[in-house]
Amino acid sequence: MPRNYAYEPRPAYGRGRPKHKWNKPYASLEAHRGGEVEGMCPSNIPAETVLELLNNGVEHFVGGSSEHPKNIFNVHEGVPYKAHVTRYGRSYHAFPCRKRDIPPRIWRPLLALAAQRNCKHELEKWFNDHS
């Protein structure tokens, strides 16, 4: 069944910018005070690419009765992304993540996607650099 989820950035929550956004053309994981790590999306990723990744990723359901996935995982240019529900059944917001943020049963399908997109080596490097 084709999916048609929407991308909806997470609100700023008083930070003055939407969470996971910055003005640099590459993805990163940035540490904040207290040890919290925030995945930062590249500033130049096209909206069409975001929607394609969202609607063609690896779904992660929690519980047996969920109609919509809690998370959707994908890889773009060697960077793993985790999409999390913004509005249930309608929209998600996504961000770069660490390997430990990805359920083990998602690793193999994610590596297969990376191989299809010729970025498996880059994904493995990301995992090694951001464990």
Q: What is the pLDDT of residues 17-61, one digit of tens each?
A: 456 678 899 999 988 878 888 899 999 988 899 899 999 999 999
Q: Mean of the pLDDT values across residues 79-103?
A: 91
- Sign of the C-alpha dihedral computed for residues 5, 113, 44 and 124 taken in this order: positive
Is it the case that residue 14 has pLDDT exceeding 90? no
Considering the entire predicted model, what is its pTM? 0.87
Q: Mean pLDDT over residues 75-99, rounded?
A: 91
Output 124 or 38, whichever has higher pLDDT: 124
Q: How confident is the model at residue 12 (pLDDT cuts 50, 70, 90)?
A: very low
pLDDT at 69 over 50: yes
